[in-house]
């Protein structure tokens, strides 16, 4: 027997799947908390649970209404014939934005592969959901950033402990005890009855972690800036949630104008995220022929969050002999979609918002 003949009995091509834990790092994502925060802020219309029942048409506009702030002056004496102004309401339109991403599968790819078709579809769908979530997170943070307040608050234009820079729409604060200063400004602006949520950039995040660690056992106790008020568990002007975000100031980790650290701070219910899905995707009589050339409509749940995507799919013939061994293959074309509106709290004072940007300056 020659040496070449040993090839007849050699072990070739063992195939096995790598464990999910080891393979997970390839598909990791920048999992900032803004998406969880936004999903918790979905309630917008009073007594209306499902907005899909309101906006069944893509072309149908949606509006919300709320009362404007009353600004009647306070007098000093009772009068015989008092007169006053009526209250008013304002119409707030909702602007919906759609995110889409396509992907494809082959019906024969699971026949000659260590993974079957179901596992291949689940993987490629999950990978594109990850990309959708990344885009949605950037959109959410950008919306919070661009909807920050650009003017002094109506209730108090003489705020101390910080300087409002009208050129950057940012409250500039000193580096000493910055988190207490943020709370002070928010309370002076009239938000003392609410706890605050905050998005910190990576630079300020480090300062937060350092200050929080300086407790009673240290020479200087800085942790008091984050303590909850035991007598007012639901209010009192303390931080309720603090998250690191990598997207403040336009898709960059550190905003160029404020390299010492910046944050977006807001009271509860500073904005709402309103998801919507066209009726054809969940209509009980919809066409679900994903394996037909005519295509079909359906829904698919996110693999991590309580989110539902629009799913459109259609089928066509495909010669896959070059990669999958057969000429009579078929390709499934898919598209994920997700539609929502970002709605900041409305103020009749033009430019005012419940979202405040803070930055540490030397």
242 token code pair: 């603090």
Here the tokens at position 82 are 């008092």
Amino acid 1: pLDDT:
45
310-316's contacts with Cβ under 8 Å and 24+ in sequence apart are: 310/277, 310/278, 310/281, 310/335, 310/336, 310/337, 310/338, 310/339, 311/281, 311/335, 311/336, 311/337, 312/281, 312/337, 314/290, 315/107, 315/290, 315/291
| H-run or E-run covering 44 | none
Question: How high is the pLDDT of residue 46?
Answer: 72
Residue burial 36-63, b: 16+ Cβ < 10 Å; e: rest: ebbbebeebeeeeeebeeebeeeeeebe
Neighbour tally for 150: CB within 10 Å: 16
pLDDT digits (tens, 9 = 90+) for 271-294: 999 899 888 888 888 888 877 778
Q: Range with the lowest mean pLDDT among 17-26, 267-276, 321-330?
A: 321-330
Q: For the chain, give the percent of residues with pLDDT over 70.
A: 83
Q: For 77-127, write each residue's pLDDT tens digit.
A: 999 998 888 888 889 888 999 999 999 887 766 666 666 777 888 888 999
């Amino acid at each position: 027997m020659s040496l070449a003949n040993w090839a007849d009995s050699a072990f070739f091509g063992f195939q096995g799947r790598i464990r999910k834990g080891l393979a997970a790092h390839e598909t990791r994502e920048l999992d900032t908390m803004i998406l969880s925060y936004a999903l918790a802020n979905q309630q917008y219309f009073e007594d209306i649970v499902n907005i899909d029942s309101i906006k069944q048409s893509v072309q149908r506009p949606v509006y919300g209404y709320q009362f404007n702030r009353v600004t009647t002056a306070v007098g000093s004496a009772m009068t015989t014939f008092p007169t006053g102004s009526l209250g008013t309401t304002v119409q707030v339109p909702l602007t919906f934005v759609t995110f889409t991403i396509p992907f494809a599968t082959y019906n024969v790819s699971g026949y000659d592969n260590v993974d079957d078709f179901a596992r291949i579809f689940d993987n490629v769908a999950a990978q594109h959901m990850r990309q959708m979530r990344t885009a949605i997170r950037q959109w959410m943070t950008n919306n919070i950033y661009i909807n920050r307040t650009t003017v002094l608050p109506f209730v108090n234009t003489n705020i101390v402990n910080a300087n409002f820079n009208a050129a950057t729409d940012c409250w500039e604060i000193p580096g000493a005890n910055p988190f207490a200063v943020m709370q002070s400004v928010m309370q002076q602006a009239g938000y003392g009855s609410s706890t605050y949520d905050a998005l910190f950039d990576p630079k300020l995040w480090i300062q937060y972690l350092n200050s929080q660690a300086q407790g009673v056992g240290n020479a200087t106790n800085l942790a008091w800036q984050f303590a909850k008020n035991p007598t007012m568990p639901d209010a009192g002007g303390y931080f309720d949630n603090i998250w690191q975000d990598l997207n403040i100031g336009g898709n960059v980790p550190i905003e160029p104008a404020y390299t010492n650290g910046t944050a977006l701070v807001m009271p509860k219910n500073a904005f709402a995220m309103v998801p919507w899905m066209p009726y054809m995707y969940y209509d009980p009589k919809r066409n679900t022929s994903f394996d037909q050339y005519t295509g079909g409509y359906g829904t698919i749940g996110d693999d991590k969050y309580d989110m539902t995507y629009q799913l459109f799919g259609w089928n066509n013939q495909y010669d896959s002999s070059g990669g999958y061994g057969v000429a009579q293959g078929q390709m499934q074309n898919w598209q994920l979609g997700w539609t929502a509106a970002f709605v900041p709290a409305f103020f009749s004072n033009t430019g005012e918002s419940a979202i405040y940007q803070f930055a540490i300056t030397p």
